[in-house]
A = this chain, B = another copy of it.
């Protein structure tokens, strides 16, 4: 028997094109993993008739129904009443929820607006799903083997309630749902079609599916199925053919991998950025605990900052320009000396939309690396708009350095 779910996304902002439905993406991934794939998603307006109609359709067809959005304190959030009406329940004021909301506001030293009382209204026979990150609790109703969850639209709050409270309920309720196991292999330095020449799905065990997931500037391979052994075998086959391009698996991201390698080696790192303007250091400092190895750096947008702070010689800038291998090398050396770190990265390039020339078109980026006394320079021509060139440049710098450090770890 297949277990199915239907998601109802409530909120005018999605239909007005104001908000991307990232909650649907999250639920799609998580419910697939639980073996309760989403059959359908209904994105509807925050109106009683729409909510009633969607609930009617979803409650008939699916085992699990999850709504997101419409639990805020403002008047256009009618969801609570509509849900109560659909299931034929009365809304009741819940003292515990109200106490919790009051305590939340008190901790933040804020006055409690009267409108927040609406968030303490709970339909009878519903359970409350505690929201540790915000004021509106989630709601849970179970009847005749079916499960309904009403969650808020704020992504962080919704995700935490799903992972901590709903996933365990669903695992217990549907033990026969076959969890889908999957493994993502992250590759770098090889294009999708080149990779497709060496990795073939028909050489993998039959029980395993292979999906190609192009990321910005790199490709992920996803292998998935119900059979853990076959999955493991498939991973070994792929690694035997393309292992040199695989830098990480599953939820690992480039910054985490680099910070981990630096910690293993006991190396500190500093950064000098020009065109990426802080993005590379932002990515490194996304990693909690990075301060053990990441000491800081310099954003040298203006050439004066390059010459005065990083001691890039003025004659070098005059002769080769700020976007040059020579400047990248000098910036990396400069920041390594200035902050006295073991390792250093520099980036200089043209993110566009202006500033390109026939010799150095938009997307031209030079990378400088220092590992102790060793200096390395790399060059890439990256494609895309300003945002994606900057993102690719920062990520490429991280993965290039990680590649070098992996050699030292072997």
Contact = CB atoms under 8 A, between A and B. Distances in A.
B12 A211 contact: yes
A122 interface: no
A239 interface: no
Contacts of A276: 282, 285
Indicate the member of A295, A297, A304, A384 with the most B CB atoms within 10 Å: A297
A32 B197 CA distance: 42
Nearest to A54: B40
A304 B268 CA distance: 13
B20 A28 contact: no
Contacts of A29: 16-18
Contacts of A115: 193, 196-197
A409 interface: no
Contact of A17 (B27, B114, B302): B27
A15 interface: yes
Contact of A43 (B37, B40, B50, B301): B40
B296 A297 contact: no
Interface string A40-55: 1111110000100000
Nearest to A5: B15
User: What's the dominant secondary structure at chain A's contact region?
Assistant: mixed
Interface residues of A, number: 101
Contacts of A309: 309, 338-339
A279 B277 contact: no
Copies in the complex: 2
A331 to B, nearest CB: 12
Contacts of A44: 40
Given A43-B24, A295-B302, A156 B277 contact: no
A260 interface: no
Given A115-B193, A191-B110, A386-B288, A18 B28 contact: yes
A381 interface: yes
B279 A211 contact: no
A305 B300 contact: no
A369 interface: no
Contacts of A340: 304
Interface of A: 12-22, 24-30, 32, 37-45, 50, 72-76, 108-111, 113-116, 133, 154, 156, 191-194, 196-197, 201, 210-214, 222, 271, 273, 275-282, 284-286, 288-291, 294-302, 304-305, 309, 338-340, 352-354, 381, 383-388, 390
Given A42-B43, A73-B196, A278-B280, 14 more contacts: A14-B28, A14-B41, A17-B30, A39-B45, A72-B214, A74-B196, A75-B196, A110-B191, A271-B299, A276-B282, A277-B285, A282-B282, A288-B353, A295-B302
10 contacts: A17-B24, A17-B26, A40-B43, A108-B383, A116-B193, A275-B285, A278-B299, A288-B354, A295-B302, A295-B304
